[in-house]
C-alpha cells in the first residue's frame, strides 16, 4: 500500500486534530514525557506554538494525507547548525491511522527533510522502552539504538526506560 504523506509547518488550526489523537494518560506521557499537563488543552498547544514560533533552533511540523488532512505531528528542535544535528520529538500519528504505515512514512520524510533540506548529518530521538511499536517504526527508517537508560521516567507507580536513538546521513 502506498501512502501519500506530505509535511508542512504546524498551524494553530491543527490543534483540533492533535487534541483528538490522545485518549489516555499513559499514551499522553509516552508522547510528551509530561512536558505538557494531562489532559492536553487548546491553551497548552497555543503556548507550544507561540514558543516555537520565536525559536530559531526548533519548529513544529504537521504531516498531512493526500486530501490535506493532518495525520501526524512532530517537533524538530535543538538544531545545531555547526555540528549539523537535530533532535525530533513529540512524534504522534492520528489514533485512527496507527499501525498502517503512516508513522514510518512520516518519519522517512522527517529524516529526508533533515538531511536533504536542512543539510543535517545527524538526527536523534528518544523513545520509551514500553513503546515498542514506535521503537520498531524508528528502526524501520534507519534509526539505531545508541544508549539505553533504565528507569529514567516515573509514570504513576511505574519506571520507564528510554532508548536514545540516532540516524546519520550516509
Asked if pLDDT for residue 2 goes beyond 80, the answer is no
Tracing cell 500519528 back to the chain, one arrives at 93
Residue in 33, 119, 50 with CA at minimum distance from that of residue 79 = 119
Residue in 47, 56, 52, 62 with CA at minimum distance from that of residue 8 = 62
Distance CA 6, CA 158 (A): 37
pTM to 2 decimal places? 0.96
Domains identified in the chain and CATH numbers: 6-168 (3.40.630.30)
Q: Give the model confidence (pLDDT) of 27-68 as tens digits.
A: 999 999 999 999 999 999 999 999 999 999 999 999 999 999
Amino acid at each position: 500500500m502506498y501512502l501519500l504523506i506530505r509535511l508542512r509547518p504546524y498551524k494553530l488550526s491543527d490543534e483540533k486534530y492533535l487534541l483528538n489523537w490522545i485518549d489516555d494518560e499513559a499514551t499522553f506521557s509516552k508522547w510528551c514525557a509530561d512536558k505538557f499537563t494531562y489532559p492536553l488543552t487548546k491553551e497548552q498547544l497555543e503556548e507550544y506554538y507561540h514558543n516555537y514560533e520565536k525559536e530559531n533552533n526548533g519548529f513544529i511540523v504537521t504531516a498531512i494525507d493526500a486530501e490535506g488532512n493532518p495525520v501526524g505531528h512532530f517537533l524538530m528542535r535543538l538544531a545545531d547548525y555547526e555540528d549539523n544535528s537535530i533532535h525530533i520529538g513529540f512524534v504522534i500519528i492520528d489514533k485512527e491511522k496507527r499501525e498502517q504505515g503512516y508513522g514510518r512514512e512520516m518519519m522517512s520524510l522527517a529524516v529526508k527533510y533533515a538531511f536533504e533540506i536542512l543539510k543535517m548529518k545527524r538526527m536523534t530521538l528518544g523513545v520509551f522502552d514500553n513503546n515498542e511499536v514506535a521503537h520498531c517504526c524508528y528502526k524501520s527508517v534507519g534509526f539505531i539504538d545508541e544508549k539505553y537508560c533504565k528507569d529514567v521516567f516515573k509514570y504513576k507507580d511505574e519506571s520507564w526506560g528510554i532508548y536514545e536513538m540516532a540516524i546519520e546521513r550516509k
